[in-house]
Structure 1
């Protein structure tokens, strides 16, 4: 009997504001709802919100809006914070697994395991990396990992220069130790990328639902205000991703 293909929807960098006012001239709530309700996001086994749910400073109204919106989801939802989020505010609206102020955990689904780590402060803490080194080898099969910041430069001139993961080499050194981890899913860069390291670690960077930033200039330049999101099909011996706009 063939193993189940797990379908995961990833929405990243919502940047929802405190209220219904536009954010940088964009209706970010409408963008989020477009992604959430798109036909491509039907029949999910898991929905992942991979950080920056709030716009600038962990606005409570943003989290309330997101929490209310996902209440109707029939699928489980996993959440991690981004650099514009704050755990202490998020915890008032979401059931998060937090250890020493960091949101990281393992989620098991259909006999397989997905790991989530917290890079909201711009780096991944040593205790999280130690936890991965203990927990990932316990899983016999392939695992996936979600985090907000990509653990690699992505040839995005603006984000690589100013907002990259500060300890990416330390993080990647840890991730590349695992024989059963080949796919890492991120956001943060407001642009779609796929990067493969020399050791074969595939780093998938999701576009944002807020807006897309031009990767070809070293300064901020809006490329598009259209939302983007990702669907992932995870089979026993394959991982397929499709970026949606």
Structure 2
């Protein structure tokens, strides 16, 4: 018996209609994922950033919005480093929700868990957002805490990403998260791998991309494989369980 099911999709990287980077049909990957996850009967989709291939494009956000509307499942979005918060929220949510720091973040209560949706699109978390995080962590001390964000708040042993594209102020973020008296579950993307990292009471779960996966054992960029995956997160009987579901990737 599942009380509530969240499906996390990340790093979609949609480009122009006839664009196939590394021979990958990114639009087909996204459409195939949406078709597959419908059978999972999710209560909520959480899309954790990098909607666009390289540069943010309004037409890409609008196309993604159209596909999500067809599925008809409620969804939340947060930005990644290939996103523009203003364009993203306008295209996907119908209004510009970007604040003075060009960030969009919020919290929610789901199945007894306090959930933070953070914005790391700039590669860091602003002082204003950090202050808000502290308030949210303090007021959730009697609840379990979950976090959705694009960048992992830790180094993950993937040299290409750790050396070139980590969250810039991850130590400050960890200091806030470790204020919570019990374990904190973090669900993120960005690294194009399936990996979990534990740092004190913070458990970080990196979800694979809908583009391709990076080989995590060498310093230079190398593709591991073209399978794609999304994460199924179930809240059931006072527990949380989650796993990655893999699908074949589409090649051009």
TM-score (structure 1 length as normaliser):
0.92
Aligned to 2:179: 177
Q: Does 1:98 align with 2:92?
A: no
Check 1:109–1:72 CA distance in 2 against 1; reply closer, same or farther (3 A cut).
Answer: farther
Aligned to 1:188: 190
Aligned to 2:62: 64
How far apart, in 2, do the equivalents of 1:50 and 1:157 lie?
Answer: 22
The answer on whether the counterparts of 1:32 and 1:227 sit within 8 Å (CA) in structure 2 is no
Aligned to 2:144: 142
The answer on whether the counterparts of 1:58 and 1:86 sit within 8 Å (CA) in structure 2 is yes
Which stretches of structure 1, 4 residues or longer, exceed 4 Å deviation after superposition? none
How far apart, in 1, do the equivalents of 2:59 and 2:175 lie?
Answer: 38
Q: 1:92-131 alignment to 2 at 5 Å?
A: 92-95=90-93, 97-100=97-100, 101-131=102-132
Aligned-pair distance for 1:5? Answer: 2.6
Aligned to 2:155: 153
Check 1:230–1:41 CA distance in 2 against 1; reply closer, same or farther (3 A cut).
Answer: farther
Aligned-pair distance for 1:181? Answer: 5.2
The answer on whether the counterparts of 2:38 and 2:71 sit within 8 Å (CA) in structure 1 is no
5+ long unaligned stretches in structure 1: none
TM-score (structure 2 length as normaliser):
0.89
Aligned-pair distance for 1:201? Answer: 1.1
Q: 1:221-236 alignment to 2 at 5 Å?
A: 221-235=222-236
The answer on whether the counterparts of 2:137 and 2:179 sit within 8 Å (CA) in structure 1 is no
5+ long unaligned stretches in structure 2: 247-252
Aligned-pair distance for 1:129? Answer: 1.4
Equivalent of 1:166, from 164, 168, 172? 168
Q: Does 1:5 align with 2:6?
A: no
